[in-house]
Amino acid sequence: MPDYKVPVSDYLFLFNQVLDMQSKYQHIEGGTEATPDMLEAIFSEAAKFCENELAPIYQTGDKGCTWNDGVVTTPAGFKEAYAKFIEAGWTTLTGDPDLGGQGLPPSLSIAVNEMMTTANWAWAMYPGLSEGAIATLETSGTDQQKQDYLSKLISGVWSGTMCLTEPHCGTDLGLMKTKATPNDDGSFNVNGTKIFISAGEHDLTENIV
């Protein structure tokens, strides 16, 4: 497989010259921390991670996960790469500082995610789905749910999944039939059929939300 080289200079050119993100960052929370030097440091370190950790295990992802005695094991190298991912703090990049995040602008995370999905799409789906779970909790979760789940998800110790795919419509949200009916005790009765749950079971984290 050819070596993947992240075009860091292109990202910096787009952010600093074409999009002039510095002027925009002055008006958003956490934006003043995203200086040109900070951008270069983040993109350069992300590039190293993509090139040295993710790209080399790209082909193993094509072999898929294995299931044995109720245990799902991710492809060779995936678990080790994820451990380095959370150790380096990539899961915390744009998270709430009060919950262990760095509070940087989401646009930085989008750029880093693009690098990682290009380097290894199969692996990058796992943290990508966690971001969806975090966003859902931040916008729609109760205070108790936020307290119980967000810090663990932002740290990467826990991961998230999204139960979308249904047999008659795939992931077309407008055609989904599954419904959640609220109960008086705060729980829900869920009725429907799901067929694929991406990242619904794996060995990367101690808990999956």
3-state DSSP of the chain? CCCCCCCHHHHHHHHHHHCCHHHHHCCCCCHHHCCHHHHHHHHHHHHHHHHHHHHHHHHHHCCCCEEECCEEECCCCHHHHHHHHHHCCHHHCCCCHHHCCCCCCHHHHHHHHHHHHHHCHHHHHHHHHHHHHHHHHHHHCCHHHHHHHHHHHHHCCEECCCCCEECCCECCHHHCCCEEEECCCCCEEEECCCCECCCCCCCCCCEEC
Asked whether residue 2 carries a pLDDT value surpassing 80, the answer given is no
**Domain 8-208 = CATH 1.10.357.10:** no
pLDDT band at 196 (very low <50, low <70, confident <90, very high): confident
Put simply, whether the predicted model's pTM sits higher than 0.75 gets the answer: yes
pLDDT band at 209 (very low <50, low <70, confident <90, very high): very high
User: Quick one: pLDDT at residue 163?
Assistant: 87
Mean of all residue pLDDT scores within the chain: 94
